Amino acid sequence: MRTEHDFLGEMNVPDDVYYGVQTMRAMENFHITGEHLDPDFIKAMAIVKKAAALANMDTGRLNPAIGNALVQAASEVIEGKWNDQFPVDPIQGGAGTSVNMNMNEVLCNRALEITGKAKGRYDLVSPNNHANMAQSTNDVFPTSIKVCLVIKGQKLMEALKELEGGLDEKSDEFRDVLKMGRTHLQDAVPITLGQEMGAYASAVRRGRKRIERTLEGVRVINMGGTAVGTGLNAEPAYIKAVAAKLSMLTGEIFVTARNLIDMTNNTDIFSDVSGSMKTTALMLIKMANDFRLMASGPRCGLNELKLPARQPGSSIMPGKVNPVMAEVLDQTCYQVIGNDTVISLAVENGQFELNVMEPVMAFNLFHSMQYLTNAIHAFINNLLNGLEANRSQCQSWVDHSVGIVTALLPHIGYERSAMLAKEAYTTGRPIRDIILEHDYLTKEQVDCILSPDEMTKPGIAGKRALDRSYAKQQKISG
C-alpha cells in the first residue's frame, strides 16, 4: 500500500494500481450501475488529455520531460492497455470530476513510473497541476463525450449502411414477387416485396443521414473554457492549439466554440444526437414488426416471409420457431427510446454555468449507440442475410384478394368493379375468374391489367399492350 492525500485527508491506496486517492473516494461513494467506464470513453478522454499535454508543451507552460511522459502514458491508455485502472461508476455526482481525476491519476502515476519515480509522488508529476493543466472537468468531460460519440457514431453509421445495403439487395432479389399491400391491416392493392424492401432501405438511409447531421454538432468543443467558459488559467495560444491537436490525433475535425460559455453550460447537442437515434429507432421498430407480421404463421398467418430458424421457440410446443431477431431489435429500440427520456431530463436540468448531469447523459448516449450497433448487426447476420420470400403464398393472397379490383376501374368503371367485388366477397371466388365469366375483358387484357408491372408501376409499356389488345378486340367484333 501507499499513502496518498487530498485536502479531505489521507487514504491508503494499493501500490499496484495507477489510480489514486480521488478515485478511491469515488469508488466508496458511487455504487450505482455496477458497470465500469465505456472503453471508447476511456480512449476518448485519453486522446483529449494527450492533446492538452501537447498544446501545453507548445505554449511552453508544460515541462517537456513531464509532458512527454504524460503523452506516452496517454498513448498507452488510448491503446487500451490500462482499461482496468478505471473502476469508477459511470453515474456519479460531481459532473464527471471523479472520471477526470481517475484519468489524471492514472496518467501521472504511469508517467512517474516511466521516468523511474515511485507512484504517488505528485510533488513531481501532479494530477492537478500537470495532467489537468489549463483544464477543468467542465471542459474535459463534455469534450471527451463528444470525441467518444464520434468514435461510436462511426461504428453505428457502418452498421446502418450495411443494413441499408442488405435491404437494397433484398429489394432487387424480390423485385418480381407480387404480394398484397395492406392499409389499416386490411387488403389494399398489390405491391412487390421488392418495393417494400426498397422502402425500408430508403427509411434506413434517411435515419443514417439524420444521425450524421446531429453528429456534426459534437465537433464543436469547449476545450479552453475551463471552469465556466471564461478560459480562466488557459492561455489564448493553448485554446487555439488544443483543438488543432485533437483534430490531428483523431483524424477528425474539431473546432473551438465561438462562445465557450454557451458550450460549457448548454448540452442541447446531446439531446439532438439522442433524438436522432430515437427517431431512427422508431423506424426500425416499424420495420421489425412488419417482418414479424409477414412471417406470421406459418400455417395460420400471412406466411409471406421465411425467416431463418435461429432457436427453438417454446419450452412446451414442439417445432415452434419464433422471430427472435426481429423481437430483439424491437426491444433494443425500446431501450434507446427510454434512454432518450433520461437524456432529455438531464439536458433540461442544467443550472447557470454548468450542467452537472453530464455523466448520466454520457452513460445513456453510449449505451444507445452501442446497443443499436449491436442489434443492427445481429438483425443483418441472423435474419436479413437468410431471408427468403414465400413466393407461392404471396401470389395466392393476390389471387384471392378483392383489392385487385381497383386496377379495373379505368377499364370497366366503378359500378361494374364494385359489383365484381361484392360477388367475389359473397362467393369466395377469385376476381380474375369472375371478370372472364362476365366477359367484360379478354384474358389477354386481364393478364395485362393484373400483371405485376402494371399493378405496381403502371407505365407506357402496359398502356401500349392494352391499346393493342383493345384494337384487336374491336377488329374481331367489327
> What residues are labeled active site?
314
Cα–chain-centroid distance for residue 316? 36
Per 3-state DSSP, what percentage of the chain is helix, strand, and coil (rounded to 5)?
A: 65, 5, 30
Whether 193 contacts 174, CB under 8 Å: yes
Q: Are strands 255-256 and 220-221 parallel, antiparallel or unpaired?
A: parallel
Give the other-Cβ count within 10 Å of 333's Cβ. Answer: 25
Is the peptide bond between 298 and the residue preceding it cis, with omega within 30 degrees of 0? yes
d(CA 179, CA 401): 10
Task: Judge if the upstream peptide bond of residue 312 is cis by omega within 30 degrees of 0.
Answer: no
- Which residue, chain included where needed, has cell 470513453? 41
Helix (H) or strand (E) holding 305: strand 305-306
Burial 58-93 (b: 16+ CB within 10 A, else e): bbebbeeebbbbbbbbbebbbeeebeebbebbbebe
- How far is residue 338's CA from residue 344's CA, in Å, rounded to a whole number? 10
Distance, CA of 374 to CA of 333 (rounded, Å): 11
The three cell numbers of residue 353 are: 454555468
Separation of CA 78 from chain center: 24
Amino acid making up residue 186 = Q
> How far, in whole angstroms, is CA 330 from its chain's centroid?
13
Strand 186-192 vs strand 220-221: parallel, antiparallel, or unpaired? unpaired
**Do 2 and 120 contact (CB within 8 A), yes or no?**
yes
Cα separation, 107 vs 6, whole angstroms: 17
How far apart are alpha carbons 53 and 266 in whole angstroms? Answer: 26
What is the rounded distance in angstroms from the CA atom of residue 89 to the CA atom of residue 1? 23
- Looking at residue 229, what DSSP letter applies? S
Nearest CA to 129 out of 42, 63, 78, 82 is that of: 63
Is 395:319 a contact under the CB 8 Å cutoff? no
